[in-house]
Structures are given as structure tokens and as C-alpha cells.
């Protein structure tokens, strides 16, 4: 029998708590129940000290030094911990990059006229990318330009280059450093395959060498696969511009056919948006008694839609089961990544159909409609029709939609941010130089049931903005801060005076939504633009990253490429590395001498805010900008609280 935690320990949000309570009343199992059933979780695995890379094992290293200190092959704690972490990075980098390749493939097919439902909606961005790749414009048709761009980017996945093309966007000093250290990513697939090779028994056993390849692999994600995903999605679906949208379970509508789009890849969801506007399908929905079709987003597919089209966001990672428990969702359409297999079981307690669409991501118990972008719009319509049919089975007595939606602003691509600043980073740089904005922090990543949902994101973000630090968000973090009301222009009043005044002048929130998790690439591009404008390297800027509630392998890859790009990063959930003092020493300090940045782990967001503020003031000091003495910064309520 497991002990049930108080609802307030599970989520900071009323909509979530209402649905968890309903789940408990009705005996519906959720992620929190399954976590409790797993506790206590394996100590060896939590420390990274178990290995099953070969069948002489599985092996474990005794963290207390009494039992075995080597696996059967002789691998020690350093090797095992480093190898495990690196395989995690490779899995995350592969997930992002495979998503990037799917986009690239459809982009190429669209250029060849082989798809339905796709266009090249942002010709300016297409032309800019082509020019960046030395592809002639010369008044050629966009489709020809796109075809050349597609084949140039395909090469980034292979092994025929000495660096991925977007690495050229990094400041010169950074690129030179990557070359010097030997971590310049060559090909995306190449680094990932090499990682699996290196971590095979009897290949790379030097933890430093192993971890450096981890950084290289992650860079092939950030400056490779993810950046390709973001840039080509912008060309096909439009580069995001600021828009007002809504968030939380209140975005579901009692009177409408509700369809949630969950996962990561905008290829499918974009055509579903088009299909849901089809007059015939709208008429069908009305004929069945609904007032229309209401699309809502979940996780990063939701972010993609909210960024470009203002589609309302039902919730982040830990909301995926809870949205089903409203009884108001008719269909949940999933592509891939972060989709809990459990949703199929929760959906069975209601009338909701779960529709899987990616042939590489099947869910036993779901209806599978194989998505083929060459018949995109036809399949999109078939899926929407299924949702409308499911609406007929909805039991109105079972519907419980908690609360009213909260407003939030989305759509801050780098282009939009620079646009708001008048086309150049100069005003932002000036505000940072004067000190009205102290610096900028990317707060990104997931939910994790080990943390009260959204507590880490919202608390850390609040502490940063009230201390005049601009916050950039992506992924599930963006949903958290949106729900907390930090992402509307009126949120300026939650910020300190300096940042607040800048936000007011520009009518923007102090927390800017930069997109999905692959869109962390936008943050790299922005950091590079700031560094180039100042003629410095990224690690000299007053920037930091944070992933207060991360859970996924992709988040580990993101953290690694952010650090390898020169940005100090604080993790809120402990990664499984503490079985090796040497690995911890390298990641949490040693890397400063290698790439100019390192990791910290701090579960308490109040303390994480202090670490980050001190770091930012240190960077300001080194740049000769007005600074607050870092040692005078303490958590709220601290006895020596200064200022």
C-alpha cells in the first residue's frame, strides 16, 4: 500500500488538482500513483552505477566502496557513469534530430510538389537560409531554391562534412574552441552512431574522452538536428510572430468537438488545423449537435501550434492524463515523444479516442492512422472526422472542465524579438549594459512527477524577473509560466523596475515564449547574435540556462549543448551521475576550463535563482558593466539578505 501525497504536493495548479482528485475518486491511475508504486527507486540506477551494455553483466558498482568497484569487464564507476550519461545524450539528440529529418524530408517533398497541405509560407526565411548556404536566388522559383537547400541540409546528417552547416552561426571564437577541443559536430548521424560505438564494451573507457564526445553529440542536436527542425518548420508553417493565446484545461469547450494535438512534430498538426476549418467537417460537427471544432495543444506539438497560430494550450507534460479526465476530450491525436503509454488506459475510462499517427510511435489500444505527408490534408480530414464521430459518444454528465482559461502571449521567434527591437539587438544590449536588464536566462524543459508540477518553473522565473532578468522559455516551462500569468504584457508588473519598464515600452511580457523544445535552437541563435554584436564569445555574456523539472533524455542533450555553447546551466532534478565524483567534478566545474561553462544541480528554485543571479553579476563584472556584488545575493528570508 503506497502513501498518497497531498494534492498540493503534486501540482501548483487548481485545474490539475481538481482532475487528480477526480482520478482518485474514480480509481483512475495516474503518473503520480505509478511513481509512488515504484518507490523506492533503484539506488544504483539513480547514481548511474548500473551497466547492462553487455551480457557479461548486468553489473553494479557499490557506492559505499565495500562491494564490487568494477564490472565484469573491469569498467569502473567513472566509465560506467560517463557511458550511461552519454547514451542518454545520444537518445535525446537522436530524438530531436530524427524529428528534424522528418521535417527536412517533407520540406524536400514539398519542394518537389509531392505533398498535399504544405506550402513554403515564409519565402523571406527560405531566401535567407538559401543565401546562408551559398545557394543562388537569381529570381529562381522558390521550389527550386528549396530543393537545393534540402539537399544541402541532408548532408548535415551524414559524414561528408567536417562540421554541420549551422555551426557557422556560432561566434568565431566559439567555433574555434569547438575545433580546438575536438567537439565540433561533423555529421548529426555520425556523432550519434559514434556514441553508440564508443560506449560499447571495450571501446572508450576514459571518462573525460567519453564526456567530450557527449558534448559533441549534443552540439549536433542544438546546432544541427534541432536547428534544422526549427528553421524549416518556420519556412513551411510560418515564422512565429507575437500573438495572444490561452492556456489551461479551461480551453476545452463544453459545446464543441474537442481535439487535442499531442507530441512534438508540427507536420501532422498543421494539416489538422487546416482540416478542422473544412466547411464540410464543421457542418458535420454541427449536425452532430456541437457548435464547432475546438483544437487544443499539449506539450510541444501544442507549443508549435500556439507559437504560429495562437491555438490554445491545454497543458504541459503532466496534464496529458488529466485532460482526458475532464471527460470533455473527444480525440487525442498523438505524433511522437513524451506521450505516456498510459493515456490509452485513461482514455478507456471515457469516450475519448486516442489516435496514433506516426509509424514509428504506436500505442497498443490506440487507433492508428498512418500519417503520410504526401496525402497530408486527406489524412488530416480523416482524423478530424474520427474526432467528430467520437463526440457522439460523449456523456455530458461525465464532463467536468475545471476553471477558466488564462491569457498568455506566444510567438517570440528571434526574428520577432529583433523586430520588436527595431531590427537589431542593440537596444537589448544597451539595456543590459546600463543594467536595467541584468541578463537573460533560458528556463526550459519538462515536468517531472518528482517535483510539484510547475513549482520549479514558476518560482525560479518569478525570482529572476523580479530581479530584472529577462526570461526566455520553451517546452513545458512555457506552459507553466503562461498558466501562472507571467506571460502577458501586464506581467511587466511582476518584474523589477528596470525590466518592467522595458517590457511596458515594448508591450511585451517579461517572459518570452520562444517555442517548443527543438526551438531551443532559437535561443542559441539569439545568444550568438548578442555575442557577435558585442564581439565576444557566448560564455562572456550574462546568460544562464535552467531546467527545473526536466525528465527526458532530450532535456539532457539540450543541457549539454547549452553548456557546450558557453552557457552555465542549473538542473532542478538530479541526473544519475553522482556515483562518480570525477564525472560530477568535470560537469560541475571542470568544464569551465574547457568550454567556459558548466552545470549545477539545485532542486530548490529559490536557491537556483541565487546561483543564477550571482553568475550573471559575475559575468557583468568581467565585462566591466555595473554589477551587484555576487556574494551579497542570498535567498529570500536569508539572515544576511542584502540590497
Per CB under 6 A, the list member of 47, 75, 184, 567 interacting with ligand SF4 is 75
Could you give the 3-state DSSP secondary structure of residue 199?
coil
Q: Residue 251, interface with ligand SF4 (CB under 6 A)?
A: no
Is 222 an interacting residue with respect to ligand XCC (CB under 6 A)? no
| Inter-residue contact 633 to 610 (CB < 8 Å) | yes
Told to check if 201 binds ligand SF4 by CB under 6 A, we report yes
Nearer to ligand SF4 by Cβ, of 15 and 78: the residue is: 78
73 binds, among ligand XCC, ligand SF4, none (CB under 5 to 8 A by kind): ligand SF4
**Considering only residues 391-430, where is the footprint of ligand XCC by CB under 6 A?**
none
Choose which of 126, 150, 300, 512 interacts with ligand XCC (CB under 6 A).
Answer: 300
- Binding ligand XCC (rule: CB under 6 A), the pick from 31, 195, 229, 299 is 299
- Smallest gap from residue 286 Cβ to ligand XCC (A): 33
Task: Give the residue with the Cβ less far from ligand SF4, 52 or 140.
Answer: 52
- By CB under 6 A, residue 197 contacts ligand SF4: no
> Does 594 contact ligand XCC by CB under 6 A?
no
496: its cell numbers: 523589477
Secondary structure (H, E, C), 552-575: CHHHHHHHHHHHHCCCCEEECCCC
The residues, ordered by sequence, that sit 6+ positions from 117 with a Cβ below 8 Å of its Cβ are 270, 271, 274, 373, 376, 377, 380
Among 99, 317, 613, 614, binds ligand XCC (CB under 6 A): 317
- Label each residue of 572-640 as H, E or C: CCCCCCCCCHHHHHHHHHHCHHHHCCCEEECCCHHHHHHHHHHHHHHHHHHCCCCCCCHHHCCCCCCCC
Residue with cell 552561426: 169
Q: Give min distance, CB of 58 to ligand SF4, in A.
A: 6
User: Quick one: which of 587, 33, 85, 514 has its CA closest to 318?
Assistant: 33
**Is 569 among the residues that bind ligand SF4 (CB under 6 A)?**
no
| 475 counts as binding ligand XCC under rule CB under 6 A | yes
Beta carbon of residue 317, minimum distance to ligand XCC (angstroms, whole number): 4
The distance of Cα 485 from the centroid of its chain, to the nearest Å, equals: 20
Taken in order 309, 341, 3, 44, the sign of the CA dihedral is negative
* Whole-number Å distance between alpha carbons of 263 and 269: 9
Judged by CB under 6 A, does residue 77 bind ligand SF4?
Answer: no
C-beta closer to ligand XCC: residue 243 or 552: 552
52 binding partner (options ligand XCC, ligand SF4, none; Cβ < 5 to 8 Å by kind) = ligand SF4
Choose among ligand XCC, ligand SF4, none what residue 51 binds, the Cβ cut-off being 5 to 8 Å by kind. ligand SF4
Direct distance between the N- and C-terminal alpha carbons of the chain, in angstroms, rounded to an integer? 49
Binding partner of residue 75 among ligand XCC, ligand SF4, none, CB cut-off 5 to 8 Å per kind: ligand SF4
Coarse DSSP helix, strand, coil percentages of the chain, rounded to the nearest 5 percent: 50, 10, 40
210 makes contact with ligand SF4 (CB under 6 A): no
Query: Who contacts 230 (Cβ-Cβ below 8 Å, separation ≥6)?
Result: 515, 518, 519, 521, 522
Q: How many residues bind ligand SF4 (CB under 6 A)?
A: 14
CB atoms within 10 A of CB 254: 15
- Torsion angle, alpha carbons of 78, 81, 84, 85, to 10: -100
120 near 143, Cβ under 8 Å? Answer: yes
| Grid coordinates given for 562 | 547549452
* Among ligand SF4, ligand XCC, none, partner that 552 touches (CB below 5 to 8 angstroms by kind): ligand XCC
Query: Which residues, 333 to 392, sit near ligand XCC by CB under 6 A?
Result: 338
Least distance to ligand SF4 from the beta carbon of 158, Å?
29
Q: Does 478 bind ligand XCC (CB under 6 A)?
A: no
Residue 57 binds which of ligand XCC, ligand SF4, none (CB < 5-8 A, kind-dependent): ligand SF4
- Which CB, 53 or 462, lies closer to ligand SF4? 53
In eight-state DSSP terms, residue 3 is P
DSSP assignment letter at 324: G
Please compute Rg for the chain using Cα positions. 24
- Residue 58's binding partner out of ligand SF4, ligand XCC, none, with CB under 5 to 8 Å set by partner kind: ligand SF4
**433 forms part of the interface with ligand SF4 (CB under 6 A):** no
Stretch of 50-58, 176-184, 271-279, 571-579 lying at the interface with ligand SF4 (CB under 6 A): 50-58
Minimum distance of ligand XCC from residue 13's CB (angstroms): 15
Query: Rule CB under 6 A: is residue 72 a binding residue for ligand SF4?
Result: yes
Q: For residues 52 and 348, which CB has a smaller minimum distance to ligand SF4 in the complex?
A: 52
Q: What whole-number distance in Å separates Cα of residue 414 and Cα of residue 421?
A: 11
Residues 542-581 that bind ligand XCC (CB under 6 A): 552, 554-555
Query: Residue 380, class by beta-carbon neighbours within 10 Å (0-12 exposed, 13-18 middle, 19+ buried)?
Result: buried
Q: Which of 11, 30, 53, 474 binds ligand SF4 (CB under 6 A)?
A: 53
**Who's near 447: CB < 8 A, 6+ residues apart?**
316, 317, 318, 453, 454, 476, 480, 549, 551
Instruction: Report the residue from 4, 8, 34, 52 that binds ligand SF4 according to the rule CB under 6 A.
Output: 52
Give the span between the Cα atoms of 64 and 125, in whole angstroms. 56
Binding site for ligand XCC (CB under 6 A): 264, 299-300, 316-317, 338, 445-446, 475-476, 516-517, 552, 554-555
The residue ranges that bind ligand SF4 (CB under 6 A) are 51-54, 56-59, 71-73, 75, 80, 201
Amino acid at each position: 500500500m503506497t502513501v498518497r501525497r497531498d494534492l498540493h504536493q503534486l501540482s501548483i495548479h487548481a485545474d490539475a488538482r481538481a482532475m487528480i482528485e477526480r482520478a482518485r475518486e474514480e480509481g483512475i491511475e495516474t503518473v503520480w500513483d505509478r511513481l509512488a508504486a515504484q518507490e523506492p527507486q533503484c539506488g544504483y540506477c539513480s547514481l548511474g552505477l548500473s551497466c547492462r551494455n553487455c551480457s557479461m553483466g548486468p553489473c553494479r558498482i557499490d557506492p559505499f566502496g565495500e562491494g564490487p568497484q568494477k564490472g565484469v569487464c573491469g569498467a569502473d564507476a567513472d566509465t560506467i557513469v560517463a557511458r550511461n550519461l552519454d547514451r542518454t545524450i545520444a537518445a535525446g539528440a537522436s530524438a530531436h534530430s530524427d524529428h528534424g529529418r522528418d521535417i527536412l524530408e517533407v520540406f524536400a517533398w514539398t519542394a518537389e510538389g509531392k505533398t498535399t497541405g504544405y506550402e513554403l509560407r515564409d519565402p523571406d526565411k527560405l531566401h535567407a537560409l538559401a543565401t546562408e548556404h551559398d545557394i543562388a536566388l537569381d529570381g529562381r522559383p522558390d521550389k527550386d531554391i528549396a530543393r537545393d537547400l534540402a539537399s544541402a541540409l541532408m548532408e548535415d546528417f551524414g559524414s561528408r562534412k567536417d562540421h554541420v552547416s549551422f555551426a557557422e552561426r556560432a561566434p568565431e571564437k566559439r567555433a574555434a574552441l569547438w575545433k580546438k577541443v575536438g567537439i565540433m559536430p561533423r555529421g548529426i548521424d555520425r556523432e550519434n552512431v559514434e556514441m553508440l560505438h564508443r560506449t560499447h564494451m571495450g571501446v572508450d573507457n576514459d571518462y573525460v574522452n567519453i564526456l567530450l564526445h557527449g558534448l559533441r553529440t549534443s552540439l549536433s542536436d542544438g546546432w544541427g538536428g534541432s536547428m534544422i527542425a526549427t528553421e524549416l518548420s518556420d519556412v513551411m508553417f510560418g515564422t512565429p510572430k507575437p500573438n495572444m493565446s490561452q492556456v489551461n484545461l479551461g480551453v476545452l469547450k463544453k459545446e464543441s468537438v474537442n481535439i487535442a494535438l499531442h507530441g512534438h512534430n508540427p507536420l501532422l498538426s498543421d494539416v489538422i488545423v487546416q482540416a478542422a476549418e473544412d466547411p464540410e467537417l464543421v457542418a458535420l460537427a454541427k449536425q452532430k449537435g456541437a457548435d464547432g471544432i475546438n483544437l487544443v495543444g499539449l506539450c510541444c506539438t501544442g507549443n508549435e501550434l500556439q507559437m504560429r497560430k495562437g491555438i490554445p494550450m491545454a497543458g504541459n507534460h503532466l496534464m496529458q492524463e488529466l485532460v482526458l479526465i475532464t471527460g470533455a476530450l473527444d480525440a487525442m491525436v498523438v505524433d511522437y515523444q513524451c506521450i505516456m503509454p498510459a493515456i490509452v488506459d485513461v482514455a478507456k475510462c471515457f469516450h475519448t479516442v486516442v489516435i496514433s499517427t506516426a509509424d514509428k510511435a504506436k500505442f497498443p489500444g490506440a487507433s492508428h492512422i498512418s500519417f503520410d505527408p504526401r496525402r497530408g490534408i486527406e489524412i488530416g480530414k480523416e482524423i478530424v472526422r474520427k474526432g467528430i464521430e467520437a463526440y457522439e459518444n460523449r456523456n455530458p454528465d461525465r464532463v467536468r472542465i475545471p476553471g477558466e482559461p488564462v491569457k498568455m502571449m506566444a510567438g517570440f521567434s528571434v526574428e520577432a524579438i529583433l523586430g520588436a527591437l527595431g531590427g537589431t539587438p542593440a537596444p537589448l544590449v544597451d539595456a543590459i549594459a546600463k543594467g536595467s536588464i541584468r541578463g537573460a536566462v533560458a528556463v526550459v524543459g519538462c515536468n517531472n512527477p518528482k517535483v510539484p508540477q510547475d513549482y520549479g518553473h514558476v518560482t525560479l522565473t518569478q525570482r529572476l524577473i523580479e530581479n530584472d532578468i529577462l526570461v526566455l522559455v520553451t517546452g513545458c516551462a512555457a506552459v507553466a509560466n503562461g498558466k501562472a500569468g507571467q506571460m502577458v504584457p501586464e506581467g511587466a508588473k511582476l518584474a523589477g523596475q528596470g525590466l518592467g519598464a522595458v517590457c511596458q515600452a515594448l508591450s511585451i511580457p517579461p517572459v518570452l515564449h520562444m517555442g517548443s523544445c527543438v526551438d531551443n535552437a532559437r535561443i542559441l541563435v539569439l545568444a550568438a547574435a548578442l555575442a557577435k554584436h558585442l564581439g565576444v564569445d557566448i560564455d562572456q555574456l550574462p546568460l544562464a540556462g535552467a531546467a527545473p523539472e526536466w525528465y527526458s533524455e532530450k532535456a539532457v542533450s539540450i543541457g549539454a549543448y547549452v553548456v557546450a555553447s558557453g552557457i552555465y546551466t542549473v538542473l532542478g532534478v538530479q541526473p544519475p551521475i553522482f556515483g562518480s565524483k570525477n564525472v560530477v567534478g568535470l560537469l560541475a566545474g571542470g568544464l569551465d576550463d574547457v568550454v567556459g561553462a558548466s552545470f549545477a544541480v539545485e532542486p530548490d528554485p529559490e536557491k537556483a535563482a541565487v546561483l543564477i543571479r550571482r553568475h550573471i553579476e559575475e559575468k557583468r563584472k568581467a565585462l566591466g558593466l555595473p554589477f551587484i556584488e555576487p556574494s551579497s545575493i542570498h535567498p529570500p528570508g536569508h539572515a544576511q539578505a542584502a540590497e
